Amino acid sequence: MQTKMKLTCAIIDDEPLAANLLESYALKTPFLDLKGKYNSALNAMQTLHTAPVNVLFLDIQMPELSGMEFSKMLPAETKVIFTTAFEQYAVDSYRVNALDYLLKPISYADFLQAAQKAMDWFARSASVDRIFVKTDYKLMQIELDRILYIEGLKDYVKIFLEDELHPILSLASMKSVEDMLPADRFIRVHRSFIVQPTKITVIERNRIVFGKTYIPISDNYKQSFYDFIARHSLFLGK
């Protein structure tokens, strides 16, 4: 299979045989670029936050820190494919927005199918430059580049655009909107706020400033947000 696009990936599995098998699969898949193999989530944590990969093949059952717990700490741009010996974890894997799950013992055919699913997701995401949202019983097309931030209410979201006095109100959940947006362009900073970091001009005392609006950066999202900013910024020394 020939493609110009490559996905960076990593493997975390505390079973050496399983990790080695996945490594052999990744190395022979032309569109995957293996960046690391780890025997625990703790060993991978620092590297995958400072240099995130596109796809992480992540074992669910691990001591100290499970794959399910670790998946919630990953940068938004990293998509997870869980690996597990227990089929009952399949439902849980989708609750944390995993791309797919692989049931051990894993065949190369199953691995390749999951990897291709990831490739398709990133290809679609890369091509998205606008979205449709439902508002006032009609569909409105919005250019992503105009979005400043999104605020979640109970059953609605408010989408704030450049050069618009009033936000667009849409009946949608924050999760559904987050899933539509490219993870390399938008990031959640609070359970009620998603921002487009390229539109940020000021960050002050763990708050993002948009004009007279101050958006809080909550503790749950603080690490991933500042990691994102660090990867896309040049910080000058004092």
Over range 91-110, report the average pLDDT.
80
- Report the pLDDT value the prediction gives residue 143, as an integer from 0 to 100: 93
Q: Which residue has the tokens 């670790």?
A: 70
Q: What is the 3-state secondary structure (H, E, C) of 71-93?
A: HCCCCCCCEEEEEECCCCHHHHH
**Per-residue pLDDT tens for 198-212?**
899 899 989 999 988
**Per-residue pLDDT tens for 39-70?**
999 999 999 988 999 999 999 989 889 898 99
Q: Is the pLDDT of residue 190 over 90?
A: yes
How far apart are the C-alpha atoms of 202 and 191, rounded to whole Å? 20
The proportion of the chain whose per-residue pLDDT surpasses 90, expressed as a percent, equals: 56
| Mean per-residue pLDDT of the chain | 88
**Per-residue pLDDT tens for 174-187?**
988 888 888 878 99
List of E strands, 49-117 = 55-59, 79-84, 100-103
- Report the pLDDT value the prediction gives residue 82, as an integer from 0 to 100: 93
What single-letter amino acid sits at 93?
A: S
Please report which confidence band the pLDDT of residue 4 belongs to, taking 50, 70 and 90 as the band edges.
Answer: low
DSSP state of 137: T
Please report which confidence band the pLDDT of residue 3 belongs to, taking 50, 70 and 90 as the band edges.
Answer: very low
Measured torsion, CA atoms of residues 177, 180, 183, 188, in degrees rounded to the nearest 10: 0
Q: Is the pLDDT of residue 236 over 50?
A: no
How far apart are the C-alpha atoms of 200 and 148, rounded to whole Å? 8
Q: Which residues contact 47 (CB under 8 A, 6 or more apart)?
A: 36
Q: What is the pTM of this model?
A: 0.65
120-145 residues labelled b (16+ CB within 10 A) or e (exposed): ebbeebeeeeebebebeeeeeebeee
H or E stretch at 118: helix 108-127
